[in-house]
């Protein structure tokens, strides 16, 4: 059951603290800002888990950019990837000839991003790269490596800083492994 009182009671282990998140995003954001300076990139956020990361990372980059969002689903609300990609919302802008950077909350099986990359590549961007907040290499089912990673994490279902279980915990300021007792009866 999801506790009504304190979300942190449902966290088994904190993997990344609030302070670590902020300082690492400032660091990677500076690198990305240098790399994309003068390129007027389109920065695409994969909803909904990317929201806090997107806001912080795009500000840390400190360069002119155009923003866009898309929404896909491969999990259907639960904890297992269904492997089927559903487009709920496409981006609004034409990316042909443009430098595109995709921001993602977590790279786990890689199924979602791989399918997404294929679709976007067909639209003819000048470049197409991925920056993920979290990389969970142990979960990988397809061959795919992020271009930029903020944190590599071990196996386990994580929530917080945008990541959810049944839409809860997205507003936790840190990233942690969810206690099994929270979802074992679901
Ligand atoms: P993959 O790489 O498996 O990830 O296609 C697709 C999407 O699934 C979500 N995801 C998670 N969400 N805790 C979460 O709250 C996790 O451990 C986790 N692993 C994957 C996430 O939205 C990702 O974009
Ligand atoms: Mg989710």
Catalytic hit among 6, 10, 90, 108: 108
Going from the Cα of 15 to the center of ligand 2, the distance in angstroms, rounded, reads 18
Is a pLDDT exceeding 60 seen at residue 184?
yes
Model pLDDT for residues 36-72, shown as the tens digit of each residue: 999 999 999 999 999 999 999 999 999 999 999 999 9
Active site residue 108: yes
Q: What is the DSSP letter of 35?
A: H
73 — pLDDT class (breaks 50, 70, 90)? confident
What does DSSP assign to residue 136? -
pTM of the model: 0.92
108 ligand 1 Cβ < 6 A: yes
pLDDT at 85: 74
Supply 155's token pair: 């196996």
Atom of ligand 1 nearest to the CA of 159: 15
pLDDT digits (tens, 9 = 90+) for 105-143: 999 999 889 999 999 999 999 999 999 999 999 999 999
Looking at the predicted structure, is the pLDDT value of residue 2 above 90?
Answer: no
Q: Do 138 and 155 form a contact (C-beta atoms < 8 A)?
A: yes
d(CA 144, CA 154): 17
pLDDT bracket for residue 77 (50, 70, 90): low
Q: Which residue's C-alpha comes closest to atom 6 of ligand 1? A: 112
């Amino acid at each position: 059951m999801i506790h009504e009182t304190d979300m942190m009671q449902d966290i088994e282990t904190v993997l990344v603290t609030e302070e670590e998140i902020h300082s690492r995003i400032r660091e990677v954001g500076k690198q990305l800002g240098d790399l994309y300076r003068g390129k007027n990139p389109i920065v695409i956020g994969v909803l909904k888990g990317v929201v806090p990361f997107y806001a912080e990372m795009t500000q840390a980059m400190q360069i002119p950019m155009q923003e866009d969002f898309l929404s896909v689903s491969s999990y259907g609300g639960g904890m297992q990837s269904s492997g089927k990609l559903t487009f709920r919302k496409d981006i609004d802008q034409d990316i042909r000839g443009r430098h595109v950077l995709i921001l993602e909350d977590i790279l786990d099986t890689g199924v979602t991003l791989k399918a997404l990359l294929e679709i976007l590549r067909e639209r003819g961007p000048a470049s197409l790269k991925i920056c993920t907040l979290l990389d969970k290499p142990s979960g990988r089912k397809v061959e795919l490596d992020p271009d930029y990673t903020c944190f590599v994490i071990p196996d386990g279902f994580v929530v917080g800083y945008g990541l959810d279980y049944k839409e809860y915990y997205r507003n936790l300021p840190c990233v942690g492994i969810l206690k099994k007792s929270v979802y074992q009866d679901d």
